[in-house]
Structure 1
Amino acid sequence: MKKDLWIGGEYRNASSYMKLKNPFNLEVLAEIGMATSEDVLSAIHAAQQAQVGMADLPSFERAEILEKVAQFLKDDREECARLIAMEAAKPLKAARAEVDRTIMTYTFASHEARRIHGETVPMDGAPGGQGRLAFTVREPLGVIAAITPFNFPMNLVAHKVGPAIAAGNSVVLKPASQTPLSAYKIAEYFHRAGLPAGALNVVTGSGSKIGDVLVKDDRIKMITFTGSPEVGRYIRENSGLKRVTLELGSNSALIVDDGVLIHQVIPRIVTGAFAYQGQVCISIQRIFVHENIFDSFVDQFVSETQKLKTGNPLEEETDISAMITRGDVQRTQEWVEEAVNNGAQLKLGGGSEEGIFKPTILVNVPSSEKVSCEEVFAPVVHINTFRDFSEAIDQVNDSKYGLQAGIFTNDIHKALQAARKLQVGGVMINEIPTFRVDQMPYGGVKMSGMGREGIKYAVEEMTELKLISFKTE
């Protein structure tokens, strides 16, 4: 199968192609077009040409297009899930859950398309403002560049494309090199749904080559990016006056307080730590457990983790499959070995087989170790102890990241203390930090990024506020 570039509402040949391989068995899935700088400029031009029509498209028509895309996903749920499982090595049951979330994301986007609004402004609240009627409206920014990662190849595309279309913008989408098939599938759905040609363009290939064109072209009015802090910083520093939303990952932490019924929460915590091989921005990486329950927690956590089944992502019983690349397996192995050599205790896992890194549990890990202070993005979690609750909060905050954090506690005062003092974009009380529903505001602080996703909040990021004032007297 050969996939060309999607520009101006049609597939266009690329000058070269790359082989896309299944991360699990390295089987060739397709040949993917590699966009040149000229191809990216052509996509930007197509988006700019389509922008006038998009801005004039009534909100109910934009909503209906988004509703149709959601319906296409419902109709093809199993096909889409298998596509994700093949190109991303996401276990099939997790891939189905992603498709279901993608349906909800486009549904929320269709709702928001119908209720983009401004407000009246009481001009006579200031001297000289009397005799005036003023109100605000929200208008689309224009051409938006969306750059997405491999780990949620449909739903994270939806979180960028959905609100952009809802707000009347046009889009140039650069999906992750490992997961382009999901993006092309979505482009085909939008075309079938009646989206104007050029309003959504998909260009695949070198991230740096495509990204540089998008960052530097003045026709691009906003860049929405999910990926590494290094690339995010580069985009922020080189994008000029473009609006920028960045979601840059984390090393999410969970606090488990004394008195919590750990047998009730451990299955949930194991899911938060190891779902999709830990390749989730808000995957649990650091767990801080009160010293009174530490030993029991570790024993039960190890026992529950041992129930996870590794294997082919297309098999129904698989919980853990291959990491996205063999290079990531090697990196993870090195980080775990470094931690053990520097005093951490290995309780489970620590090795790999055929691209699958086995679920790994470490305890008493120094905070300076990469598996603690960097984003491991792998099925690796460490468990450390604390005595005083304030100490646990300090340990969570001792990070350059701040996306989401979780806490399990029976003490409302500690819950409120955590809500106030944790330096993150979202605090999940009596829940894991990996929790997300697609209408909530989502984003981080510090090196976890800037701006917020979640459809309503993304629409605000993707529109310009205009004030209109009438002198009536």
Structure 2
Amino acid sequence: MTTTSTPHRDSAGFRAESLRIGGERVRRERTLDVFNPYTNERVGAVPLASVDDVREAFRIGHAYRSMLSRYERASILQRACALLRARADEGAAIITMESGLCRKDALYEIGRVADVLTFGATEALRDDGQVFSCDLTAHGKKRKVITLREPLLGVITAITPFNHPMNQVAHKVVPSIATNNRMVLKPSEKVPLSAFYLADILYEAGLPPEMFQVVTGDPREIADELITNAQVDLVTFTGGVAIGKYIAAKAGYRRIVLELGGNDPLIVMEDADLDRASDLAVQGSYKNSGQRCTAVKRMLVHKDVASEFTQRVVEKTKRWKHGDPADANNDMGTVIDEAAARRFELLVEEAVAQGARLLVGNRREGALYSPTVLDNVRPEMTVVREETFGPVSPIIRFGSIDEAIAISNGTAYGLSSGICTDRMDYATRFANELKVGTVNVWEVPGYRIELTPFGGIKDSGLGYKEGVQEAIKSFTNGKTFTMPWG
């Protein structure tokens, strides 16, 4: 974290931001700099909120009661979607300049955010209540039970990570709007500009500003207030395991939704189409610079096909263009910062020292880190035992489906998986026996649409799901209403 006291070259598109509290743009003397990981230019500065700023946001949010109809909520989300699509190039440029994600990935993310807005609008219109007849047994009566979903009494705290600067925010705020809740967001201090951009689009679309406020700052100063404030009913967090467990220990008697890390395998069986499987391997490893909780973190490959599969992965990795994130021809930009790139470099060097073979990559220049393939990796090596959150493809060989399942389940994580096989007996065993939240056959571990349930178990989360429909359930209180009938 760097403050503006350090001189630095500013970019042409420099953005000086303000807190969004109660419809006001609030400036503070202390600010936090945001840097382009590729150019090292200062691309923005955001205020360092105080604890009092956070408390004021909660006070405003808690005092506000939204009376927006379903139609009005849906209309706001639909208008926001139209505005974002019309400004896709501008929004993508902000994502790229603050995160180092390549132009292709940034534009894809804008499309995903638009999908979240669309699904949120649809769900806002859906009456999700149920009706139960009570005369079903000898003890029943002629009554009906009707279920309702209502917004929370308190405010939602949302804390988002750096890897999808805008889409992670959308997955928090859109279900909140769809359910008439009030939310205070603290985006990652590394990529806050995208969050402010989306907030302004939502305000322009007609969202009452009390329903969504944005504060930026030093987590060491404001995190505890975000978690423990008496006016907070729910904390929803996406990020690292250590911070997630800290939140769980600190939150007390309030709901928490944690979407944490992953160590996701792509499992390639001996019957797999290796060209198709290697395509998935490369895309799953390097899209978004490998910075996805659902990226391919481990390639588990049957020994009978491992050599040919590995050769194909190496060939396709060499063709994966990486470099300047703003170059529309590049397939990959930088990772989030130089410290992250240096960590990947050291993890690969450690694995090589322990017997792994470096086949391509492990070249670093600042935050630019090349796509990397490692063969002869063993499950106990740090590069696959822990979550390597970058463009590294470690290949582990196995001899049977029993061994593949054991290796896959042999980590602390349980988020997602991808399976390459045409055998139904294999597919059903993986579906039943992998200890993860998602099993995708002939897809990367990260495949989903923005509507569907998403989340993990073990150190990947508490089992609560994201995705628009499931988040709406988490963000509401259930109520039953009964009345005489007939």
Pairwise TM-score range, normalised by the shorter structure: over 0.9
Deviation at 1:446, TM superposition (A): 0.5
Shift of 1:121: 2.6
Alignment partner of 1:452 is 2:465:
yes
Aligned to 2:28: 14
Q: Distance in 2 between matches of 1:205 and 1:184?
A: 13
Residue 302 (structure 2) pairs with residue 281 (structure 1): no
Query: Where does residue 39 of structure 1 map in the other structure?
Result: 53
State how far apart, in whole Å, the 2-side matches of 1:5 and 1:400 are.
37
The SS at the match of 1:80 is: helix
Is 1:61 equivalent to 2:77 in the alignment? no
- Structure 2 length-normalised TM: 0.94
1:146 to 155, 158, 161: 158
Q: Percent identity?
A: 36
Q: CA deviation at 1:350?
A: 1.9
Query: Secondary structure of 1:468's partner?
Result: strand
Q: What per-residue deviation string (whole Å, max 9, x for no partner) do you get for residues 5-59 of structure 1?
A: 0100121112411221111111011111111101111111121122x1x2x2111
Q: CA deviation at 1:127?
A: 5.7
1:116, 1:138 within 8 Å by CA — same for their partners in 2?
Answer: no
Residue 103 of structure 2 corresponds to residue 92 of structure 1 = yes
Is structure 2 residue 260 aligned with structure 1 residue 242? no
SS at 1:448 equivalent = coil
Contact 2:419 2:427 in 1 (8 A): yes
- Output aligned runs, 1:44-193, within 5 Å: 44-50=58-64, 52=65, 54=66, 56-125=67-136, 128-141=139-152, 142-193=154-205
What residue number does 2:415 align with?
403
Residues 379 and 396 of structure 2 are in contact (CA less than 8 Å); yes or no, is this contact kept in structure 1?
A: no
- 2:447 corresponds to: 435
Which of 360-369 and 95-104 deviates more? Answer: 360-369
Residue 123 (structure 1) shift: 3.0
1:205, CA displacement in angstroms?
A: 1.1
Listed as ranges, the matches of 1:288-367 within 5 Å are 288-367=300-379
Q: Deviations over 1:275-306 (max 9, x none)?
A: 12211110101011111111111111101100
Deviation, structure 1 residue 405: 0.4
Rounded to whole Å, the distance in 1 between the matches of 2:365 and 2:29 is 37
Match of 2:445, SS state, is: coil
Deviation of 1:110 (Å): 0.4
Shift of 1:195: 1.1
Compared CA separation, residues 388 and 190, structure 1 to 2 (3 A): same
Q: Distance in 2 between matches of 1:131 and 1:265?
A: 58
Structure 1 CA distance for aligned equivalents of residues 382 and 401 of structure 2: 24
Contact persistence 1:146–1:223 (CA under 8 A): yes
Task: Give the deviation of 1:330 after TM superposition.
Answer: 1.7
Q: In the alignment, what sits opposite 2:482?
A: 469
Post-superposition shift, 1:359?
1.1
TM-score when normalising by structure 1: 0.97
Question: Displacement of 1:129 after TM fit?
Answer: 4.0
User: Which range moved further: 114-123 or 29-38?
Assistant: 114-123
1:22–1:86 CA contact under 8 A, matched in 2: yes
Contact 1:116 1:167 (C-alpha < 8 Å) held by counterparts: no
Structure 2: tracts of 5 or more residues without a match: 1-14
Q: How far apart, in 2, do the equivalents of 1:398 and 1:346 lie? A: 24
Task: Flag the 1:234–1:126 CA change in 2: closer, same or farther, 3 A.
Answer: farther
Q: State the one-letter code of the partner of 1:365.
A: V
Change (3 A) 1:355 1:290: same
Question: Secondary structure of the residue that 1:130 maps to in structure 2?
Answer: coil
**Cα offsets for 1:331-364 (capped at 9, x unmatched):** 1122111111112111111231132111111112
**RMSD, aligned CA:** 1.4
Provide the C-alpha distance between the structure 1 equivalents of 2:206 and 2:446, rounded to a whole number of angstroms: 35
Cα distance between partner residues in 2 of 1:120 and 1:399: 43
Whole-angstrom CA distance in 1 between matches of 2:209 and 2:423: 55
Partner of 1:226: 238
**Counterpart-to-counterpart distance in 1, 2:471 and 2:82:** 22
> What is the alpha-carbon distance in structure 1 between the residues aligned to residue 278 and residue 393 of structure 2?
13
Count the aligned residue pairs: 470
Q: Does 1:414 align with 2:426?
A: yes
Instruction: Report the Cα distance in structure 1 between the residues aligned to 2:224 and 2:138, rounded to whole angstroms.
Output: 49
Aligned to 2:280: 268
Gaps of 5+ in 1: none
What amino acid sits opposite 2:206 in the alignment?
A: G
- 1:130 shift after superposition: 1.2
2:485 & 2:425 partners in 1: Cα distance? 53
Equivalents in 2 of 1:438, 1:93: separation in Å? 19
Secondary structure of the 1:281 match is coil
CA distance in 1, matches of 2:347, 2:291: 15
1:472: Cα distance to partner?
6.0
